[in-house]
Amino acid sequence: MAKKKTRTSNAAEAEDYLRFLASLEGDLNEVSGSGRNKEERQMLAHELFCAAEDAENPIEMIPPLLRAVRLDPACIDARLTLLRIAGGPASEVIDELQELLALADQELGGSFIEENRGFFWQLIETRPYMRLRAELAQTLHRAGRMDEAIAQCQAILLLNPNDNQGIRYLTIGLYLEAQRLTEADKLLVQFDEDSAFWLWGRVLERFLTGDLPGATAWLGKARTQNRHVEDFLTGKRKLPSEPEPFYQPGQISEAVMCLGSIGPAWMESRPAIEWLSSQQRPAARKSGKKRVGP
């Protein structure tokens, strides 16, 4: 009889779970997390976060976000969104981000983090954690807490060396701004890409190292890849008030993104800007095409 009761109980639980899953497709205001286990509460919290993302304005986002956090205090994406909406002094925001990171570390567990180090982004459940660390790094940078920001960036790159988040662009800017040139060189070698971020970053790294011939050589490559960066750095062109959300290699949109990453490091070094301003740009080559018609 005991076995029959267990089988019946398991079947009832399975049916209840299936009904719960189906209810997540409907009106979430009608779905209660009361009496649900941790996994189910997390699932409901995630659906509430997704519903908040679909809201038309921040005011409409707040109720589902607050409910998501009530159901799952470690719902990182919901808490990050609430934090952005609330705003406040950088020091206060950093405190909350650090508290949330401690909670997220505990939630994932030290052994899980260690076992999966190196390919974190491939695991869907780690992505909110990685977004949290990136947010903390960026906020620390804006607050001028360079060494702490760099430490966060380094931790992210250790967890995910493929850098799906593009945190390397913030990191190279931080290294150059702090003049941690050995680390900047290693990062530039590690990724070795032909983007404006990397080529113009290498120009500055060579200049700060004192290698002017090297800086000059890299300047030629950087100009070929994206000449607009130089115009912004030397003041020939003003940055647009509202940058585009996406960029194209070689275009103004990429130059604007590039300046957001390494621009502060260039501006910190007046000698570098003066040197760049003194470098005569090669004259544009004529196409050689003959005019046809009158």
Nearest to 133 by CA among 172, 103, 110: 103
Rounded-to-integer distance, Cα 84 and Cα 256, Å: 23
Tens-digit pLDDT profile for the chain (294 aa)?
444 445 556 888 788 788 888 888 888 888 888 989 999 999 999 999 999 999 989 999 999 999 999 999 999 999 999 999 999 999 999 999 999 999 999 999 999 999 999 999 999 999 999 999 999 999 999 999 999 999 999 999 999 999 999 999 999 999 999 999 999 999 999 999 999 999 999 999 999 999 999 999 999 999 999 999 999 999 999 988 887 888 999 999 999 999 999 999 999 999 999 999 999 877 555 444 443 333
pLDDT at 283: 59
Give residues with Cβ within 8 angstroms of 247, minimum separation 6: 253, 254, 256, 257
pLDDT at 184: 98
pLDDT at 9: 65
Interior/surface letters 111-127, b for 16+ CB within 10 angstroms, e for the rest: eeeeebeeebbeeeebb
- The residue type found at 197 is F
pLDDT at 241: 83
Rounded-to-integer distance, Cα 186 and Cα 282, Å: 30
